[in-house]
Structure 1
Amino acid sequence: MDLQDQLKNLFPDHEFQEEQTPQKSEKNIWMQEEPLLCKYEKRKGKAQTIIAGYTGADEDFKKLAKELKTTLSVGGSFKNDEIIIQGDYRDKIMELLKNKGFRVKRVGG
């Protein structure tokens, strides 16, 4: 006997209605014509990948930053309209952004 059967025995007059959970609808991130710039820098002796050049809303760029960080399982931040990812992940980031539909330009070595 599962929980629903037990509840039906306790409350025979009650009509059970299954709750509908609203599905999350992910907002589309604004795509731009100009390419995003993906560059590599060393700051304080540590390797960092920087993504800049997004002209859309800051909230969309922050969502993109969070998605990149969780996908790559790395740390990073969003400052001064740039996504800063800890480590050299240019190739992986460029591939992920191209799969999302962004144009990406590699800057530097």
Structure 2
Amino acid sequence: MSSLKIKKGDMVKVIAGKDKDKEGKVIAVNVKNNTLLVEGINMVTKHAKPSMANQQGGILHQEGPIDISNVMLLHKGTPTRVGFKMDGDKKVRYAKKSGEVID
């Protein structure tokens, strides 16, 4: 399985869909479905029954998954495509716009 270009904790910008041009931090990445959860993006309502964890129950607002192709990584505030290159014997991500190593 190939490694994804976006990881948990990255800042991303939405480039397609109802939340276009919004930015947020990646909360979780689902490699199997190529989706991710981004803070404040694709908010959905969920109706929860009262339980031990949630005594009150009611309507919850939470992030829904967004396809990984609909976001772009932000590097120093600018959206950029991501590439991989070898830095010595280590594989690293780099921003294609500036050529700088991301991590």
TM-score category of the 2 structures, normalised to the smaller one: under 0.3
Query: TM (normalized to structure 2)?
Result: 0.22
User: Which has the larger strand fraction?
Assistant: 2
TM-score (norm 1): 0.21
Structure (1/2) with the larger helix percentage? 1
For the pair shown, the structure with the greater C-alpha radius of gyration is 1
Larger RCO (alpha carbons 8 Å, 6+ apart)? 1
